[in-house]
Structure 1
């Protein structure tokens, strides 16, 4: 989700710049005003258009790849004979590496350049996609997905920064809509493309492998377009950026503790379903993971390096609440996306393409709901001049999403078509209302000099929530299904591996209904867990304080900030 993770990032960073706060990589000793761009020459409208087309193509690939497997996974799992845990790790591997490498890209781009990081990330992503398409085993596919995630993380972070730097401030909000629309479209297109490429192999030349192969020509075209439009464009760099500064200042310890603790917990959940919750290895991994995260918190509070989490996140209740809400929000969103697609195919008998179409109320609802939510916030904020509108949108979104995921529990193998449309739509609308407001409240609570680091921390938590959500959902599904499914079925259904495409052809009919009931009720358990998580987040939202809006002069912030975290240019929409 991730991918999802976010169009939120761009709309939050690049709109309403005339009233935004900014962290700049450079300041002029001769002028007190901020530079209008971070390039040494002004680009023509045509070159800006071409650059944004190339950036949009690249971003579409990286964000769609996070969700394209949601509808193709049942087909992939059946062909490669994946267990339920391996089923989940196809998605988890991509998001885990994408999350782990996010904080590194911003700082490395200060040293080697934005374009170098973007082009390198595109190459890594293309190689990973090629290996995914050629995978001959589920283990091969999981490793290739992890490699693609490394490239995808670089694409996501680099595209936002680079496009922001080549556009003048007064025009940036207008140009930013291209990438915002791209991210919204990717959330909708991912499940559809996954379904299209996972159709019947006997009647169509397309297969799930082409869902990965298609990335190669598109990636090449995007690379050519970007290279042409950005030829001879020199982006300004941070004057104090050096490899020595990077090695002495970057918080490698905090990153390793955060990702190490998260990985231990995720792997512990995976072990729990295969060797039992009481096994020593299971308990050891989960306990160690929690202890490592706690140690990471203490380390972040007292480290002298440029920590992943700014000091305000440890001292301000609002920032802590927002991070918890963001984690739980993406936990539910990603789990819902993957297991709603599985429900339509495994329990409802839909083809992959039909599942992608049935996913539209959920994915399209979440994408479209973010737009009126942003408009309402903008309208109310002009009158109140504080963050009360964001707080109300957060509470309303969490309430609606809690209701929506609660209603998803009513979806079983014989659910009416209206329920399959309306219930996911309600859940999607509630989720979509939370795409903008939490980030706005979070950055408003930070000190000016913490904005870049805070942005990095916010999206690190967000991506982690999506990764953990999918891992936990897989554990829940496996635990519920494995103990109840018969072990002696000839159709490839067992406690360790499920041939999802064959569930609706099981004979006799009574056995088929029994199997479908087990699968649908196991998926319902995932939504049963997501709903109270969102409910807890809803209650926590009332702890958010109302903060007034004030603009910090750019020349003052230039004196107290430097480039770090996700971006060299970070803007807060107010």
Structure 2
């Protein structure tokens, strides 16, 4: 590299920090830097940290029946162990992301891990469902910090051109974390559900030590006091509160109270009003969660919605495919968890394939189109499942969904960065991750509300036509946890419930299909840009090995 080229690159770095965006023709050619041993150790630690967060989300569905039985919880209460975790994870992401600009990524990542570890201990010691929900919220706060900071660190350490490759490597954490379905089933089958949380503790201790020794970033120089004062504390509080209230109404509607009751209408209305207030607060905030420069980007807005749908699809599948295999197909706990593995394993596999395609071709729009189309087709195909569907059909229908979700994950992270100036890259990743996690929360809440309401409707229909005795009635709010009870019913009654489970879930699949189709339409709003436009990373590890 010549001296003139070095000057050009230096100018590009300074310009990007000031918010100047080069056109494709003006962009300098920048080579990727040689990676050190510390870099690879740091990446490995980051993958393991993200693995823990994924594990503690995915491990829950398989262990919920045991938790509910031990802590005497209803199905709706048990759902809040997952929903509360995800809402807290979403709410904490912008907080940790913003404070990390002031205090440094490494410190905030270590604090996130510490919170996650302490919360895991408290989850394992829970003596009531309220205790567990509260500590799961605390665990979600730490998990949100880990999720956003790991991705932001990778953004800091890699150039835009090579970033899709390293993002796809991060998806390995989902590959290993998603085996939590089987792990959770095995733990609850052979020991106690409390070990679901105890296993986090030694891993967190090791990660804290490894990150302390290997990750040495160069933090930005910021005025801590002024930065914290400018942070949008009001916005995050309003958004977290309004989202929780809205989800409470969605989870309870038609289950614990009629949709027309004040107990349901009130939280729904308050939640919507809260979201409107959040938009107003964001407009006037000196440091908004969603910078106005981001919201002016057509690609960012489109990929935010696509990312939301991707998050919705992931959790609705993880939670409700288990219900299908257990309730409709009649599989046991471990067998049900194993049967969901095609979707779970193919998500990171799709992410890796998509990352390679983007890195080699420089095209992120193609993988985005493919991912949304595959998920739409896959969701629609799940509606043909019946209690007697063959193993081949059950497995084959999951393939396009898993691969498509992997493509969406990697492409939705890269697309906004390709069209935004470099000083907004980490912020855009933070917000894309935030919308994905919010989608996960709504995937549980909306999917649960649809399933439980449909379940009650089908049970009522069977009671009316005489095919089901009122003495064998199972309510929708208990349906996801009533598998053992239904197995004890006469065979004819169990067969009726197998059909009810399958029919009720069909509405969940149709909803996922409709949302995925909307995401596919959003792909047309994304803009094409060169990944070679800005290849510099904001921070580097020391060059020593």
- Scaled by the length of structure 2, what TM-score is found? 0.83
Task: Answer yes or no: is the 8 Å Cα contact 1:59–1:182 preserved in 2.
Answer: no
- The answer as to 2:365 corresponding to 1:391 is yes
Mapped pair 1:155 → 2:146: yes
Task: Kindly state the Cα deviation for residue 20 of structure 1 after the two structures are TM-superposed.
Answer: 10
Equivalent-residue separation in structure 2 for 1:412 and 1:22 (angstroms): 59
Residues 97-122 of structure 1 show CA distances to partners (whole Å, capped at 9, x for unaligned) of: 01101111133334444443233222
Change (3 A) 1:170 1:448: closer
Counterpart check, 1:180 vs 2:201: no
**Displacement of 1:406:** 1.0
Q: Say yes or no: does 1:413 pair with 2:387.
A: yes
* Cα 1:488/1:105, change in 2 over 3 Å: farther
Q: Which residue of 2 aligns with 1:292?
A: 274
d(CA) in 2 for partners of 1:360 and 1:98? 24
Mapping for residues 31-180 of structure 1, pairs under 5 Å: 45=37, 48=39, 50-161=41-152, 176=166, 180=170
Structure 1 Cα separation of the partners of residues 15 and 408 of structure 2: 23
Contact 1:361/1:425, CA 8 A, preserved across alignment: yes
Residue 196 (1) aligns with residue 181 (2)? no
Residue 219 of structure 2 aligns to a residue in which SS? coil
Instruction: Find 1:320's aligned residue among 296, 301, 314.
Output: 301
> Is the contact made by 1:128 and 1:147 (CA closer than 8 Å) also made in structure 2?
yes
Pair 1:517–1:171, CA change in 2 (3 A): closer
1:377 pairs with 2:358: yes
Task: Tell whether 2:515 aligns with 1:533.
Answer: yes
Would the alpha carbon gap of residues 541 and 59 (structure 1) be closer, same or farther in structure 2, given more than 3 Å must change? closer
How many pairs are equivalent? 512
- Residue deviations 1:480-513, cap 9 Å, x none? 2234447988889444434434155233111111
Provide the rounded CA distance (Å) in 1 between the counterparts of 2:167 and 2:429.
Answer: 20
Per the TM alignment, residue 372 of structure 1 is displaced from its structure 2 partner at its CA by: 2.1
Structure 1 CA distance, aligned partners of 2:373 and 2:500? 29
The verdict on how the C-alpha distance between 1:287 and 1:196 changes in structure 2, with shifts beyond 3 A counting, is same
Instruction: Indicate how the Cα distance of structure 1 residues 187 and 361 shifts in structure 2: closer, same or farther if over 3 A, else same.
Output: same
1:408 CA drift (Å): 1.0
Distance of 1:343 and 1:314 partners within structure 2: 39
Partner of 2:315: 334
Q: Distance in 1 between matches of 2:344 and 2:58?
A: 10
Query: Is contact 2:171–2:348 with CA below 8 Å preserved after alignment?
Result: no
Say if 2:404 is the partner of 1:423: no
Contact 1:348 1:414 in 2 (8 A): yes
Aligned-pair distance for 1:156? Answer: 2.4
The alpha-carbon deviation at position 94 of structure 1 amounts to 0.8
Taking a change above 3 Å as real, the CA distance of residues 160 and 365 of structure 1, as seen in their structure-2 partners, is closer
2:155, 2:415 → 1: CA distance?
Answer: 22
What stretches of structure 2 of length at least 5 have no aligned partner?
Answer: 1-11, 19-27, 541-545
1:78–1:500: 8 Å Cα contact kept in structure 2? no
Residue 565 of structure 1 aligns with which residue? Answer: none
Instruction: Give me the whole-angstrom Cα distance separating, in 1, the residues matched to 2:423 and 2:209.
Output: 37
Alignment of 1:176-325 (within 5 A): 176=166, 180=170, 182-199=172-189, 204=190, 206-229=191-214, 235-247=217-229, 249-272=230-253, 273-300=255-282, 302-325=283-306
Query: Match for 2:438 among 461, 464, 478?
Result: 464
Select between 435-444 and 332-341 the one with higher mean Cα deviation. 435-444
- 8 A contact 1:69–1:194 mirrored in 2: yes
Pick which of 421-430 and 437-446 moved more: 437-446
Distance in 2, Cα, partners of 1:173 & 1:510: 56
Q: Tell me, yes or no, if the aligned pair for 1:409 and 1:524 is still in contact at 8 Å.
A: yes
Q: Per-residue CA shift, 1:366-393, capped at 9, x if unaligned?
A: 2111222222233333xxxxxxx42232
Whether contact under 8 Å (1:482, 1:494) holds in the other structure is yes
1:236: Cα distance to partner?
2.9
CA distance in 2, matches of 1:21, 1:470: 44
Cα contact 1:318–1:545 (8 A) shared by 2: yes
TM-aligned CA deviation for residue 170 of structure 1? 12
Match of 1:400 in 2: 374
Q: Which consecutive residues of structure 1, in runs of 5 or more, have no partner in the other structure? A: 1-18, 26-31, 382-388, 559-567, 570-574
Please say if residues 491 and 502 of structure 1, whose CA atoms lie closer than 8 Å, have aligned partners that are also in contact: no
**Structure 2 CA distance, aligned partners of 1:423 and 1:372?**
19
- Corresponding residue SS for 2:178: helix
TM-score by length of 1: 0.79
* Contact 1:23–1:451 (CA under 8 A) maintained in structure 2: no
**Contact in 1 for aligned 2:307/2:409 (Cα 8 Å):** no
Provide the C-alpha distance between the structure 2 equivalents of 1:547 and 1:44, rounded to a whole number of angstroms.
30
Shift of 1:362: 0.6
CA contact 2:160–2:531 (8 Å) conserved in 1: no
